[in-house]
Amino acid sequence: MECADDIAYGAHDLEDIVARRLVNEEEVKSELQEMLGSDTRIGSDDKGISLEEFMKGLFRGGSADRKELIGKLVNLFVTSAEIKPESDFSHPLLRYRLALTPKLSNFLLGLKKMTYKLVINRAEIQQLERRGRRIVGGLFHEMVRHPEQLIPDESWKSLDEADSRERRVCDYIAGMTDPFAEKIYQRLFLPGFGSSRDEL
């Protein structure tokens, strides 16, 4: 599962950031060249993907071309995976682990780092992250002090009474959509926002 998650996140995060135009071809090519060094292929010579083919599939076609390339990349990762013994465990269910070849494992790690560097670490994204943390944190701290007053009665009663107050508030907030959480936050903390007649 860990290997499958790594592959899915690495490949599909790349597809997402390209599709949403959060990165450009020059940025990605520069990062890939740094990752690959003098090598011009991702994976082995016989079943790898050339850097040129990779860039063409990502940037110079449409969405179908991009999806086809990502499918090739995922296939390359999956078909290159090897079963390795895990010396830390003796139980048969835990004794073996699926692992990528060192070259592809390093490439996948590089994809994750590239996504972080080019997208997640940008000021615009970090601002949104911090806003989200402030909204969720603000709602939690206020609601945990007065849940019966701030959470609609039917919602509060539907939460598991055996759980702690904190757990119930956490579950209530976790069930909110982003726009709903923002609206409640604004009603609680922004002067002049909302009235008792607003629909939620």
Residue pair 82/105 in contact by the 8 Å Cβ criterion: no
Q: What is the number of domains present in the chain?
A: 2
Query: Residue 68 — very low, low, confident or very high, per pLDDT cuts 50/70/90?
Result: very high
**Among candidate residues 121, 150, 172, the one where a domain is terminated:** 121
The tokens describing 188, both together, are: 């609680």
Q: Could you tell me the pLDDT band of residue 81, with boundaries at 50, 70 and 90?
A: confident
The reply to whether 76 and 108 lie within a common domain is yes
Report pTM: 0.64
User: Rg (Cα) of the chain, in Å, rounded?
Assistant: 23
100 shares a domain with 33: yes
Same domain, 51 and 9: yes
| pLDDT digits 0-9 by tens, 15-64 | 988 998 888 999 999 999 988 888 888 887 677 898 899 999 999 988 99
Which stretch of 25-29, 121-125, 159-163, 187-191 has the lowest confidence by average pLDDT?
Answer: 121-125
SS3 assignment, position 109: helix
| One-letter amino acid for residue 172 of the chain | Y
Q: How far apart (Å, rounded) are the C-alpha atoms in residues 101 and 168?
A: 45
Instruction: State the pLDDT confidence band at 118, using cuts at 50, 70 and 90.
Output: confident
Domain range for 140: 124-189
Q: Residues 22, 91: one domain?
A: yes
**Confidence (pLDDT) at 156:** 94
Q: CA–CA separation, 20 vs 15, rounded Å?
A: 9
Question: Do 71 and 165 lie in a common domain?
Answer: no
> 78 and 13, same structural domain?
yes
Same domain, 56 and 101: yes
